[in-house]
Amino acid sequence: MAIKRIRFLLQKSTLQYTALGGVRFYKSETEMINSGTQITASATSGETQNFLVSSDAGYSTSSNYYLPYLVDNNKKQTGVYTDLCYWLTDSASATYTITVEFKVPLENLYKMEFVPRPDTSTIGANRGVDKPFDIELINESGSVSYRYNVSPITQLNTVQTFFIPYKSKMLLSSGDKYYSTLSLPVLENPIMTSNSLPYGVASSSSDYDSSTTAFSAFRRLPTGVGWRSKNFRFGWLKYDFGIGREIAVNNYVISLAYAISIPTLSPKDWTFEGSNTGMFTGEQVILDSKTNFLFEKITMNFTIKNREKFRFYRINITDNNTGAFTYISDLLLQEIPAKKMVIIDSLEETAISSYGADAIEINYRINEIVDKRRVSNSRDSGETFEHTIDMSKRRIDKITLS
């Protein structure tokens, strides 16, 4: 399954600042994935032509360290700090999460480069990553496909290369045929940098303050502050995908940073609803409902049976667990398509790499069968291609050969 996001799970450095620089992604030994033109930038989020980036900490004092610079390959990977691309924070948190989302999911990732101790100027010695950290590769369904632990090098201003280990491909066999499954791209709401950017509109029934407005729950920060209602145990959070961007949400993910430590603030009773008018005055369709629900962990998935596309989605919370207000750290809306079954008759390397599955499960819905078997016999200077048609099952009105 293609890679949708890469997450860096960093530990607080023993240095004055925790910093990471010069991140590069490669499809092959030499083919780098270009970040493209920078569109928006802040200390904890931003967008380039090909990436969306977010983090739960940053350094807002200087724009030199705004988050998108971390992946901006239009800037230098090493050198003096004003010309570098790196992220910096002086937050006292014990851990930090940086997420890079690919606007077009990656089918292949060969290696990554990064600079654990950026900058060679006099201020460079007091910043960097000096503890082992994890890198997670997240697929289009939102699951972690691979997790790797990396020990950073300690040399200043030095590029460290991390090669993605070879991934096995799997097939199922029956007789002379081999079967696999292919996944279609997952559709989901973007990482929002405001209530209306990069697209769509996030809104809510009320906001606790200016730092907890609706879009704060759509930033892919499961442990962030997120959205809070204003002194109410109830409230709603809504997302408008926009005209022409309607999707059939069949999975939504709720993250609550304080689900365990302060359970009273967690939603308890709610409905998850879809609408094509956005009015929510009776025309909406209730897609899911929960009563007396208890969050047992920070992030929980809710899979629902829905094939209807809606422009607007809303979670309508009617009560929490007796807290003064209710909140959601992050809300992810997804349309996870059914898989395709593929049939092949060759165990050649190209066939396996093209159609082999990273993992094969048997508990999902198949909506299409694609036959990739080849039947051919040589005839002198040309070839004869044969295909058997069961006339008892199909009506043939016309056959065209070209």
The DSSP code for 142 is S
Residue 170 has pLDDT above 80, yes or no: no
Residue range 299-348, pLDDT digits in tens: 999 999 999 999 999 999 999 999 999 999 999 999 988 777 888 877 77
Cα–Cα distance measured from residue 275 to residue 286, given in angstroms and rounded to the nearest whole number? 9
Three-class SS of residue 264? helix
Residue 401 has pLDDT above 70, yes or no: no
Residue 70 and residue 85 in contact, taking contact as beta carbons nearer than 8 Å: yes
Range name among 63-77, 92-106, 110-124, 336-350 with the lowest pLDDT average: 336-350
**Which pLDDT score is estimated for 196?**
94
Could you give the dihedral angle defined by the CA atoms of residues 48, 49, 51 and 53, in that order, rounded to the nearest 10 degrees?
20
**Which pLDDT score is estimated for 350?**
60
**Which pLDDT score is estimated for 389?**
55
Cα–Cα distance measured from residue 183 to residue 145, given in angstroms and rounded to the nearest whole number? 14
**Which pLDDT score is estimated for 339?**
73
**Which pLDDT score is estimated for 217?**
96
Confidence of residue 399 (pLDDT cuts 50, 70, 90): low
Residue range 256-285, pLDDT digits in tens: 998 888 999 999 999 999 999 999 999 999
Confidence of residue 377 (pLDDT cuts 50, 70, 90): very low
Confidence of residue 80 (pLDDT cuts 50, 70, 90): confident
**Which pLDDT score is estimated for 349?**
60
Q: Which residue has the higher pLDDT, 252 or 67?
A: 252
Confidence of residue 187 (pLDDT cuts 50, 70, 90): confident
55, 103, 107, 242, 343 from 354: Cα distances, Å: 34, 22, 10, 35, 12
Cα–Cα distance measured from residue 272 to residue 283, given in angstroms and rounded to the nearest whole number? 14
220, 1, 6, 36: which is closest to 112 by C-alpha?
Answer: 6
Cα–Cα distance measured from residue 40 to residue 186, given in angstroms and rounded to the nearest whole number? 24
Confidence of residue 372 (pLDDT cuts 50, 70, 90): low
Residue 395 has pLDDT above 60, yes or no: no
**Which pLDDT score is estimated for 260?**
85
* Token code pair at residue 248: 């059939």
Residue 315 and residue 203 in contact, taking contact as beta carbons nearer than 8 Å: no
Place of tokens 């890079």: 100
**Which pLDDT score is estimated for 378?**
45
The DSSP code for 123 is T
Residue 89 has pLDDT above 70, yes or no: yes
Region 219-238 average pLDDT: 91
**Which pLDDT score is estimated for 379?**
44
Residues 6+ positions from 70 with CB-CB distance below 8 Å = 20, 21, 22, 23, 53, 85, 86, 87, 98
How much of the chain exceeds pLDDT 90, in percent?
Answer: 47
Q: Which residue has the higher pLDDT, 173 or 132?
A: 132
Q: Which runs of consecutive H residues, i.e. helices, occur in 239-363?
A: 349-355
Residue 133 and residue 172 in contact, taking contact as beta carbons nearer than 8 Å: no
Cα–Cα distance measured from residue 45 to residue 147, given in angstroms and rounded to the nearest whole number? 23
Average pLDDT, the chain: 85
- Exposed, middle or buried: residue 281 (CB in 10 Å: 0-12, 13-18, 19+)? exposed
Residue range 230-247, pLDDT digits in tens: 989 999 999 999 998 899
Confidence of residue 63 (pLDDT cuts 50, 70, 90): confident
* Token code pair at residue 143: 């699951």
**Which pLDDT score is estimated for 277?**
97
Cα–Cα distance measured from residue 63 to residue 43, given in angstroms and rounded to the nearest whole number? 7
Tell me the whole-structure pTM to 2 decimals.
0.53
Q: Domains in the chain, start-ordered, CATH in brackets?
A: 3-165 (no CATH), 168-177+342-402 (no CATH), 187-335 (2.60.120.260)
**Which pLDDT score is estimated for 106?**
87
Cα–Cα distance measured from residue 386 to residue 378, given in angstroms and rounded to the nearest whole number? 11
**Which pLDDT score is estimated for 370?**
65
**Which pLDDT score is estimated for 298?**
92
